[in-house]
Amino acid sequence: MKLRIAPAPAPAITARRGVVYARVSTVRQAEADLSIPDQIAQARSWCERQGHELVREYIEPGASGTDESRQVFQQLLADARLQPRPFDIVVVHSFSRFARDNLAYALAKRTLSKAGIAIQSITQPLADDPTGQMVESILVAFDAYTSKEIGKHTARAMKENARQGFWNGSRPPFGYQVVQAEQRGQKVKKRLEIVPAEAALVRRIFGLYQGRKACSSA
């Protein structure tokens, strides 16, 4: 007579209240209206599959992951300290969306852990054990390294662009306007051009300042 061993029952899913934190680094990315909606849609889908309830969306448009003073990020951490806690898990697309700085990530995770709240990356699923914690720390460190490297190369490119006399972007100072200078492949290079009407006012402002300075020194 053969002894049959019944298969172990599948572990029951414990429903938890989740929130999603979605972030992009620049306002331009946010205005494109692609990345943040995709992050939220994937978080919703993940919560549905896991049997969790998505109770809130924390959306941070145009904020660097290296900045731990992000307004929405800090609001999430403040809410996590409330009693009773309003949610049980923070869902992010990847750990880099939560933070791109080792210390900021560690401090934020400590705050959440003290409140009994977990962080879940839907694209980087890890086990809640020593091995998973080690891999998580490596991923966060690599994100921080990548962010610094990108920043270094971006600064170098902007410096060279300015050396060649081109405008690096953002709102031009009063008295100038941005005009197209030339096109290199798909890239449009721009320069600053004086706006005569505004320039006259700028010269008058500086003239008045120099006159007051001369009077005060007399």
pLDDT of residue 184: 86
pLDDT at site 218: 43
Residue 88 in contact with residue 18, Cβ under 8 Å?
yes
Per residue of the chain (218 residues), give pLDDT as tens: 555 545 444 444 467 899 999 998 765 655 556 688 999 999 999 999 999 999 999 999 878 878 888 999 999 999 999 999 999 999 999 999 998 888 899 999 999 999 999 999 999 988 888 898 898 889 988 888 887 888 888 889 889 989 999 999 888 999 999 999 888 888 889 999 999 989 989 988 988 888 865 444 44
Phi, psi of 156 (to 5 degrees): -65, -45
CA dist 204 and 211 (Å) reads: 10
Alpha helices in the chain (DSSP H): 27-32, 35-50, 71-80, 95-98, 102-114, 130-163, 196-217
SS (H, E, C) 8-53: CCCCCCCCCEEEEEEECCCHHHHHHCCHHHHHHHHHHHHHHHHCCE
Give this prediction's pTM.
0.67
- pLDDT score recorded for residue 90: 96
